[in-house]
Amino acid sequence: MNQTDPRAQAAFDAAMNHIKTTTAGVADRVSDHLGLLASAAARIFDRDALVNAQLDLRRHMSTFVLVFGDTLSKKITRELNPGHEPGRSLAETDWQSLSLVDDSEVEERMFADRIGQAITHACEWELREVASYTGQLLGLGRADHDRNPLRGEMLGAAAYRAIANVTNDRESRKLLARELGLAMARVMPGCYADILKDFRARGVQPVGLTVRGVEGPGNELNRDRVISGYDTLSRDTGMTTGGGHFGSSGSGDFDTGAGGHSGGGARPGGGSGGSGGGFGGNFGDAGARGPGA
Taking residue 38's Cβ as centre, other Cβ atoms within 10 Å add up to: 17
pTM, rounded to two decimals = 0.66
Counting residues of the chain whose pLDDT is more than 90, the rounded percentage is 52
Separation CA 67–CA 85 (nearest Å) = 24
Do the Cβ atoms of 67 and 162 come closer than 8 Å?
yes
Do the Cβ atoms of 277 and 245 come closer than 8 Å?
yes
pLDDT at 287 over 50: no
pLDDT at 160 over 80: yes
238: left (phi over 0), alpha (psi -120 to 50) or beta: left
Taking only the tens place, the pLDDT of each residue in 66-104 is 999 999 999 998 888 765 554 544 444 454 454 555 677
pLDDT at 45 over 90: yes
Contacts of 291 (CB under 8 A, 6+ apart): 125, 126, 129, 189, 192, 193, 196
Taking only the tens place, the pLDDT of each residue in 185-205 is 999 999 999 999 999 999 999
Separation CA 119–CA 158 (nearest Å) = 13
CA dihedral 89, 95, 101, 106 (to 10 degrees): 50
Do the Cβ atoms of 287 and 122 come closer than 8 Å?
no
Mean pLDDT of all residues in 248-257: 44
pLDDT for res 244: 45
pLDDT at 19 over 70: yes
Closest C-alpha to 157, from 67, 243, 46: 67
Q: Which of 10-19, 124-133, 274-283 is least confident?
A: 274-283
Separation CA 185–CA 22 (nearest Å) = 11
Q: What is the C-alpha R_g of the chain?
A: 28
- Bridge partners of 262, per DSSP, are 255
Count CA atoms closer than 13 A to 76's CA, side-chain side.
Answer: 28
pLDDT for res 20: 97
For residues 207 and 115, the model is more confident at 115
For residues 24 and 228, the model is more confident at 24
pLDDT at 57 over 90: yes
Confidence band (pLDDT; 50, 70, 90) for 211? low
Mean residue pLDDT of the chain comes to 77
Closest C-alpha to 2, from 94, 111, 139, 96: 139
Instruction: Please report which residue ranges of the chain form alpha helices under DSSP H.
Output: 6-40, 44-59, 61-79, 95-98, 103-122, 124-137, 152-166, 170-201, 229-237
pLDDT for res 25: 97
**Amino acid identity of 230?**
Y
pLDDT for res 290: 47
pLDDT at 6 over 50: yes
pLDDT at 116 over 80: yes
